[in-house]
Structure formats: structure tokens, C-alpha cells
Structure 1
Amino acid sequence: MISSQQQKGGELLKRILSLVGARPQFIKEAVVHKVFEREGVNEILVHSGQHYDANMSDVFFEVLGIRQPDYFLNVGSGNHGEMTGKIMIEFEKVVLKEKPDVILVYGDTNTTLAGALVGAKLKIPVAHIEAGIRQEPKDMPEEINRVVTDHVSSYLFCPTKQAVLNLEKEGITKGVYFVGDVMYDLFLMMEPKFSYEVFETLNLFEDDFVLVTLHRDFNVDVPEKLERILNELRAINRVKKVVFPMHPRTRKRVFEFGLVGLLDGLTVIEPVDYLNLMGLLKRCWKVVTDSGGLQKEAYFAGKRAVVVMPDTGWRELVDVGWNVLAREDEIAEKIFQDDETTYPTGLYGNGDAANKIVDILLG
């Protein structure tokens, strides 16, 4: 029988159960896992299967050196309630079997919420990496997920000082830590390994194209809105080439809404792995995105982003004037506006967030 804690140098190490299910979670877990491994901690990895496209999950296990998960819940896609419920049912079985000391969840997906609720109901401390992020609209699925997760978590690892203040406004001060962003850790760790294969295959020129990613339901699930966005991208494409690795959800909607013709002239490609995406990011001129991860990664790479959202959890990037929010009908205007802004440093810590997280969990 495996004990709930492991012995190392006379000390008891906590047994950690990590739940992941979407691209940002895979790569955050990869960074934290390296520190757990170094400290001799048995971190059990569970993959919910929320995102199951080969280029969006399997490839991360390969290129980031992540071991295969100990458990694969295989829930697939579905409506929010169905997906969250399925993950809870299957994850609870794993938790009851493994009896972890801490459940570690990442970000703001249905997987995050499911893991946090299971931990809270079973009275197992939940640690939330990327706690304290807040944004409008409040009825956005990701916002609901992160708020509920924060309110049932025992360890709240904040990537920014603003996140700490957000939690304080909600009366959450216990167990709150400003550790910096593990995505910045990852960026610095992986930068020497970034791949420029896709960049070269597409015959692109540095600083001469706009990198686009779009997948949020409020952008791609409304036909009129998606049509306006695609027309804005076509306007940009007349001046700067648009390179668009298209999310499966977005591709499905484009075909469903009969908007395929609006893709003519755009460089639309399949989703690319993290290393090639970062290669494209490093070589692009600017970014258009509704991804919480990519708007930050753009900052890490010294690139400015037009964020197609009514608000962003990364308010500090907008407040300092580096990134800019845009409605779906003003993307081209925002991307071409002449604004010389000095690069703001140090917004996301010093690149040692994973070390701080593990130190706190083992403390």
C-alpha cells in the first residue's frame, strides 16, 4: 500500500494530484512538474481529455518532455454542464483511489472547476495556479470557473500583484501568494528551443505578418460577429499578411455559418505546437488574439497584441498601454494605430514562479 506521503531525508513530502485538460494547463504543469521531480515529489498527473485534438494535446507531451498522464479521463467535448459533470464523476474516482494531500488545478477551464469542486467536496486542499484573475463579462464561462475555483481553494498562487488585489476585494486573503507567472518560467526555459519550421515553410518575413488566434465563444459562436472579425482580418491582410492557426471550434463555425469565402487570401493553417507557435510569435509584427495565454506570451516576446475581448484578465498589459482591447469591428484600426509605448518590464515576476509554488506546497 502506498502511503499518502513520501519520505525524503527524514521529511514527509506531500502527495500531489494534478489535473489538466487544455493547452495552457499542459505547459504550466510541465514547468511545475520539473521542480516536483527535482524535489522527489510523486506528482500524479490526470488528463481530463477536455481538448483532445492531436496537435493540441499529444504534441505537448512530446515536445515539452511531459510524461504520459497516469490517468486519462477521456471526457471529450460537450456542453459546459455535461463536460464539467463528466470530469467530476471520473476525477472523483481517481481522487478516492489515490488519496492526495493536495489537488493542483490550473487556469480557468471546465477541467479547473471540476477538479476544484471535487477537492472541496472531499475536503482535500485545492491549489489554484493562476488565481485572482478577473475580467468582464462576468457570465463568461472562464470567469465563472476561475471565481468559483478561487473561492474553494486553500492555496491561491497569483501571477501578478493585481491578482492579489482582486482577491482581497472579494475578502480572500488567507493562502494568497504572489509567485509570478509559470508561463514566464516556461518562456525563458523554452526560448532556446523555439522552432521556426512553420515560419520557414510558409515563406514568411520577420516583422511582416500578423499572428492571429481566435476561439472564444463570444467571438466565434455568433455568425454576424465572426463575419465582422474575418472582414477585419481581410483588411489587415491587404497591408500585413495574416497567419491564422485556426482552432477546431472556429473552423467548425466558419463552415457552419457559410463564411469560408472570407478566408480567401488569409494564410489559414492547422493549429501548431507550442514551439512553432512561439517561433511564429517571435518573428511576427503584432498579434490579434482572444487567448489569455497568447496575449501574455506576446508580451514576453516583446510583441504587442490587439485583444478581441470586452475585457482581459491581464489588465496590467492594457493599463500600461502595451496591449489594447478591441471590438470585433475595430481590429484593423487598433492594430495600425501609431503608438510608441516603452516596453514595461517585470509585470509577471522573475521567472521563478514554479520554485516558489513548490516551496510553499512543501513548506
Structure 2
Amino acid sequence: MSSTTAEGVSSDAQFRRRRELTETAARGVLGGGFYVLGWLVVAWSADLHHSRPLLAAVLTVVFVLLAALRVVLARHSSGNAEPIGPLLSAWWSLLLITAALWGALTVWVLVDVRLQPARLVALICTVAYATAFAHTFAMRWHGALSAIALLFLPSVVLAWFVADFGGVAFALSVFLLYLLSALRLSRQQYERQLLLELALLHQRDLYEKQSRTDALTGLDNRREFAFNLERALAAETPLSLLLIDIDHFKHINDRYGHAAGDAVLIAFADQLRAQFEGDGARLARIGGEEFAVILAGADEDAAAAAALALCQRLARAPLAPNAERGVVTVSIGVGEWLASRRQRGSDFLAAVDRSLYRAKAEGRNRVCRVER
């Protein structure tokens, strides 16, 4: 797999995880309050505030704390929250603990005959909470499936053994099948929406890259070069600039054809990459046969040495097809920009450009520095 492809896969995975965290936080933060409300209704229906006030109070506090933890997690999950993995694990641990607690509570209500008045309320809440997992937490379907199993399955199984609950048990069993189907459909819908968003993001990134890249060579275009040079100058750190012109390029086009000329441009761009690989250089094609190299942090001596090495590289490797060695040469202007000189960026660029034309005027295939 190429590095570009690997980066794309990593970016997609990061987008998926961040999207899952955002969705989980947005949907999970509201659920805690409904569990508190459900428990209060169950406790009131079963008259637990009179018969078992301490237990009712303890369970109320537990549900309130679980709801409060959701609010805290939602705040930590907002924006560009990091790390994503532990936050998602915390969310699903909290969701599954709440589901297990409510599932156990419903079993208790169904088993304890003294809580019979609260059975219907508990089952209605259980159905509602399980439905919420099937429809709103499908981004992690195995988590939602586990929550439904903890929350709803015990009630379905136990309902078959509760007197006079035969019809309810059958209805709950059918509804369980519906929940599994709804979870599958919700997952498919979530994936389709996610894939659509990823496709739109990739299209946007492609357009953005095309607006900054020379289509033929893959180097930065003139617009991107101007942006990078302006940004580098604004940093007020030393940098050197190389302006490069392929000598007699019109002759290459006339002698070998424009297709061969394009091949020379592509091959030269590859030579630039090979020469400046690992130097943190910004390479650009700024005109037909004109190129530029921004060397951040390099002084003029280092830049001139790199320019001479490029000329020597070209002498060893002809770029024109079916041509003798050294058929393609370049003229290079080199200059160093220092913030201490208080030189304007446009004046610096013009000075390097003049050194390039001096190299051409002096016979080409040479490197000339900016005159002081």
C-alpha cells in the first residue's frame, strides 16, 4: 500500500471514530434523564417511597449519578476531544452499566409480587430504552446489541414464567425480533450516510489539492508557491530560495515534440524531489519551464551547494528521450533572505529572479547568487 493510500485509510478511520464519538455523546447525554424519570415513575407506582424508602433513595441517587456522568463525558467529548478510544470506551461502559442496571431492576419488578403495580410501567420503559439503543446507537452495533441483551432479553425470558403474562411474553418476543431488524437497518443507514460524508470529504480534499498542485508534475503550483513563500517570510527565520529555468526548453519541444517536453518536465520534477528529499523543501513549478525551491533554515552557501549538486545530477542523467547525456541543463538563481535586512518579500523575489537571468546571460548551465 502506498503512503498516500495508507494516510487516506488512517484519515478515514480517524473520521469514523470521531464521528462515532460525536454521535454517541450527542445521543447519550439525553438518555440519563429518561432513566431517572423512568425509575421515579416505577418507584411511585410500586409505592417504594413508603415501603422501602432507603432502597428507593439509593437507586435514585445511582440513576442520578449515572446521568451526571453522561453530562461530564459529553463535555469531555466535545470539539476535538482526545484521546478518542478511551472516551468511547468510557461511554459504552456507562451505557452498558445503565442497561444492565435497568434490566436487573425490571427482573426484580417482575419477580416481586409486591411490585406488581409497577410491572407495566417497568416493561414500557424497558421497551422504550431498548428501542432507543436499536435506533440511535447503531454506530457501534455490537455495543447496541449487548445493551439490548442486557436491558430487554431478561424481561422477555422471564415474562414467559410470570402468571397471566403469556400474551405479553409473546408480544415482547415479537418486539425483540423487531429490535434486531431495526438495529440492522439503522446500522446500514448509518454506514450509507457515513460513506456519503467520506465521499464528499474526499472530493473536497481532491479539489483543494488540485487547486494547489501543478497537474503535470505534481509539484506546488505558482499560487501555492506564493502562499508558502509569504508564510515562510512571515516566520522571520532564515531561508534560501532557488529559482530554476530549464535551458533552451523551446528547442527541446521543437526537436522532440511537446509530449517529449512534458516528459522532460516530469523527469526534472522527479530529479528535484530526489535532490531535496528530506530537506523540508517546498518544490514548485511556477511557469512553463520555471521551477522554485524554498529551503527553510538554509543559508546561501548550503543552497548554492545544493543547486550545484542538482546541475551535476542532471549532467549524469539526461532527461530528453533518445538524447545524449547532458542535453538538459538548468540555470539557477540563489538568494538568502534574512529578517534582519528588513527586505520586502517582493524585493527579495525580484533579486533572486535577477540572479537567475544573470546565470542565463552568462551562458546558462550555472548557478548565480544574488549580488549584494
TM-score for both structures, normalised by structure 1: 0.21
Structure with more contact order per residue of length (Cα contacts < 8 Å, sep ≥ 6) = 1
Larger Rg, first or second structure (1 or 2): 2
Q: TM-score, normalised by structure 2?
A: 0.21
